[in-house]
Amino acid sequence: MKLSDKIAAHPTSRPFFTFEFFPPRTDQGFENLVSRISRLSGLHPIAISVTWGAGGSTKDRSLDLAGVTQAEYGIDTILHLTCTNMVPGLVDDVLHAAKAHGIQNILALRGDPPRGQEHWTPIDSRFSRGVDLVKYIRSSPEFSSYFCIGVAAYPEGHPDNQMDDDGSLVILKEKVEAGADFIVTQLFYDADRFLQWLQKVRSQGIDVPIIPGVMPIQTYSSFLRVVSLCGVHVPPSIMADLEPIRHNDQSVKEYGIQLAVNTIHKITGRGDIRGVHFCTLNLEKSVQLVLERLNWAGGSPVMRNKLIADSPMPMAPTSDLIITPTNATTNAAVALASKPTVECERPGRGELNNAASWDDFPNGRFGDYKSPAFGVQDQWGGLGISVHVVDPEFQSVFDSIFVIDLVRRIGNYPAATESPY
């Protein structure tokens, strides 16, 4: 189903949410991520999104993951599609494959420079900006009416250019006028600044749904890295709060959860924002706790103790607090009979590997390939996290300095009786 239709049909009294995942690098990670998505689907997201590697570097895995979530779990899926390194013909191939999988939602993005390149350059001259993808899909008789198209927005500006707010709004409006149905924003941590930007967007006549990107802080080091790559502003109060707990992963994680809750409360307090987009980093516990604290995740039924009467006694006909021994036995037997059988895991795939939160702290995983969070790190799909790679010429200089210093250090050790060369 198209996301625009789902948003329109969603009750205005209850905000919606979406989850973003990236395809893991390994088969084991892929399998574990599918299990993770299966658990998160119980929270009832309105849709999930699957990112796209530069130039289709994750093409097969992205399509496989999107196909599984769409067909097997019945979760409407948004497939990211970028312009980076897209050779002629690849865009059509992807759109045909998405349609074959029943995927109706595309997030059209320019994308970041491919790994190893500092500057972005188009491969197919037809696609140099996200708006080019929007125009192409809308101009196709086969795809125009089939796909719902989303685009990216940058409330604090795109990190790759120095364009002012007015220039950025012109580009965003161009995307919407070309046929975009919804907008997903880059993550941010300054809610006041976001709301100011939102007011400017609406003043330009842009009225499609805007879905803010939210990334709960996982660890202090990953937070600093993301903030640096995105170029987003962090209020001084947040940095001051994090400073004394920066070495305590659990405290930072807890702070990140509550910060996300507070931010979401603030931005959804306005009628313009009806839902949020969670950047999960393929982790589940933080977003689950955020949703529980927001009371968006539903809840377990209220359980009340019942009195088993020793003998028949007068009671109100509608009372459910007293139960007879016969009824208690019958209810217990029915519950046991209907309890699902838990299949035993294969050797090596027990609780350690499949627990919901065993890799809650990615900086402590040592890159375990079994984790869904282990994947290519340019998975952001162009939503504003730009990875700037060191120029090869400078890298060569750094390597030379390192070797010279290493030779000097080795020569200072007593055991170094001869030159390393």
Give the single-character DSSP code of 199: H
CA distance 364 to 204: 46
Which is catalytic among the residues 20, 243, 284, 351? Answer: 20
The Cα–Cα gap between 165 and 153 comes to 11
Can you read off the two tokens belonging to residue 84? 């980076």
Dihedral angle of Cα 239, 244, 250, 256, to the nearest 10 degrees? -20
State the distance between the two ends of the chain, measured CA to CA, in whole angstroms. Answer: 65
Which two tokens mark 319?
């009372």
Written as one string, the DSSP assignment of 50-79 is E---GGGTTHHHHHHHHHHHHHTS---EEE
Q: Are 84 and 57 in contact (CB under 8 A)?
A: no
> Residue 240 and residue 251: Cα distance in Å, rounded?
14
Cα distance between residue 68 and residue 75, in whole Å: 9
Concatenated DSSP letters for 3-53? HHHHHHHS-TTS-EEEEEE---SSHHHHHHHHHHHHHHGGG--SEEEE---
Q: Annotated catalytic, 20?
A: yes
Active-site positions read: 20
